[in-house]
A and B are shown apart, each in its own frame.
Chain A
């Protein structure tokens, strides 16, 4: 059985991109207490291979650099409250379709049939709690997603 498995890679050092986005959103009138950013890779994976995938990604150090990143497996395969996942719409027909084999840095990722990459923005409202859906939607509309070639997912 193939299951989704989300791996999150976030910076442990100051994230200048998130800081710039936050100051821009505030200038556009959004009342935000904070903004965090991470890369989320949603793998289509043979069930039970999650620990092996995590170990492989940690050892490859291709999408993850232990000097400045933290890597974790997410429990859910969709955005949490206050999150916005932005994904570039595949250009070519069939792009992103399941593959028989997935290679990263020349190594086969065993049991992986496909992967989608998202930029996950985590927005915090004025009280420091996850931003409301309305605030997330506004941030998406005015800055974080260009619907011409990106899609935005939130709950």
Chain B
């Protein structure tokens, strides 16, 4: 699978580690790569960062990058695509998610956080808001799984017209919502004012997932924000074990067979 790197992407290495930790054969693919080689990958991950310095809007320029031409074609063929943080912003700007009516223009976006419009870096939990089978990448997750992650963004608030939001809710496009450690969805669990409490959006076909918080930044026990890290203290194997956020990458590996 290919991890796409645009000028300004900055989370490619930890994303690569998370993929390899669950057994995926992954490699970095830079923006100037040969497109024939890009087409050959079985799946794509768009990692976090600030592609093209967020010029015009977060994700707007990268959404029209030559690499995304391939991603569009391959996604239409059913290839799995995962976008994380800035990668999620790119997927919404490209119209690949939520993909209402197959419209290639954006039907939703991740706008500046609310209230205040400020960048936030904070630990969060997310849980599925749809049956696991709704998205190929989550099919292996338990329906009540609570996934830890780090929200680290200035523009993570899902925004769309009232009509589009209503359709996204009704047609099951909100894949993950923010919750607390127990899985309870409360306003305090939402770090950015996101509409519908949405943390991740899936397309109609279930092969494109755009998630704002970073699961790869909470993918090993030593990264955890709870008692499990204390319990692992003194046990190197347990401390370095993939867990938490890597479940999403394990789901990707499972979907790829």
A interface list, Cβ under 8 A from B: 16-17, 20-21, 24, 27-28, 88-89, 91-92, 141-144, 146-150
CB <8 Å contact, B115 and A141 = no
Chain A residues with Cβ under 8 A from B233's Cβ? none
CB <8 Å contact, B108 and A20 = no
> How far does the Cβ of A118 sit from chain B's closest Cβ, in whole Å?
14
CB <8 Å contact, B157 and A148 = no
On whether A27 and B159 interact (CB within 8 A), knowing A20-B55, A148-B109, the answer reads no
- In the bound assembly, the distance between CA atoms of A17 and B115 in angstroms comes to 26
CB <8 Å contact, B108 and A148 = yes
- In the bound assembly, the distance between CA atoms of A91 and B158 in angstroms comes to 11
Tell me the nearest residue of chain A to B108, going by C-beta: A148
- B174 at the A interface (CB under 8 A): no
CB <8 Å contact, B111 and A148 = yes
Chain B residues with Cβ under 8 A from A142's Cβ? 105
- In the bound assembly, the distance between CA atoms of A5 and B157 in angstroms comes to 31
On whether A148 and B107 interact (CB within 8 A), knowing A16-B55, A20-B52, the answer reads yes
CB <8 Å contact, B112 and A148 = no
Q: Please report the number of residue pairs spanning A and B whose Cβ atoms sit closer than 8 angstroms.
A: 58
B interface list, Cβ under 8 A from A: 52-53, 55-57, 60-61, 64, 93, 105-109, 111-112, 114-115, 157, 159-161, 164, 193
> How far does the Cβ of A120 sit from chain B's closest Cβ, in whole Å?
13
CB <8 Å contact, A17 and B64 = no
CB <8 Å contact, A146 and B164 = no
> How far does the Cβ of B62 sit from chain A's closest Cβ, in whole Å?
10
- In the bound assembly, the distance between CA atoms of A16 and B109 in angstroms comes to 23
CB <8 Å contact, A146 and B57 = yes
> How far does the Cβ of A29 sit from chain B's closest Cβ, in whole Å?
11
> How far does the Cβ of B184 sit from chain A's closest Cβ, in whole Å?
24
Tell me the nearest residue of chain B to A145, going by C-beta: B57
- In the bound assembly, the distance between CA atoms of A141 and B109 in angstroms comes to 14
CB <8 Å contact, A91 and B60 = no
> How far does the Cβ of A17 sit from chain B's closest Cβ, in whole Å?
4
A-B pairs with beta carbons under 8 Å apart, 17 shown: A16-B53, A17-B56, A20-B53, A20-B61, A24-B56, A28-B64, A88-B111, A91-B157, A91-B193, A141-B105, A146-B60, A148-B108, A148-B111, A148-B161, A148-B164, A149-B109, A150-B109
CB <8 Å contact, A143 and B193 = no
> How far does the Cβ of B4 sit from chain A's closest Cβ, in whole Å?
17
CB <8 Å contact, A143 and B55 = no
Among A16, A27, A149, the one with the most B-chain Cβ atoms within 10 Å of its Cβ is: A149
- In the bound assembly, the distance between CA atoms of A89 and B105 in angstroms comes to 18
Chain A residues with Cβ under 8 A from B107's Cβ? 148
The residue that A21 contacts in the complex, of B61, B157, B160, with Cβ under 8 A, is B61
CB <8 Å contact, A92 and B106 = no
> How far does the Cβ of B167 sit from chain A's closest Cβ, in whole Å?
13
> How far does the Cβ of B159 sit from chain A's closest Cβ, in whole Å?
4
The residue that A17 contacts in the complex, of B55, B93, B157, with Cβ under 8 A, is B55
CB <8 Å contact, A149 and B61 = no
Chain A residues with Cβ under 8 A from B160's Cβ? 148-149
Among A28, A143, A148, A150, the one with the most B-chain Cβ atoms within 10 Å of its Cβ is: A148
CB <8 Å contact, A144 and B108 = no
> How far does the Cβ of A22 sit from chain B's closest Cβ, in whole Å?
11
- In the bound assembly, the distance between CA atoms of A109 and B211 in angstroms comes to 41
Tell me the nearest residue of chain B to A20, going by C-beta: B55
- In the bound assembly, the distance between CA atoms of A144 and B59 in angstroms comes to 12
- In the bound assembly, the distance between CA atoms of A114 and B151 in angstroms comes to 32
Chain B residues with Cβ under 8 A from A144's Cβ? 56
Chain A residues with Cβ under 8 A from B64's Cβ? 24, 27-28, 143
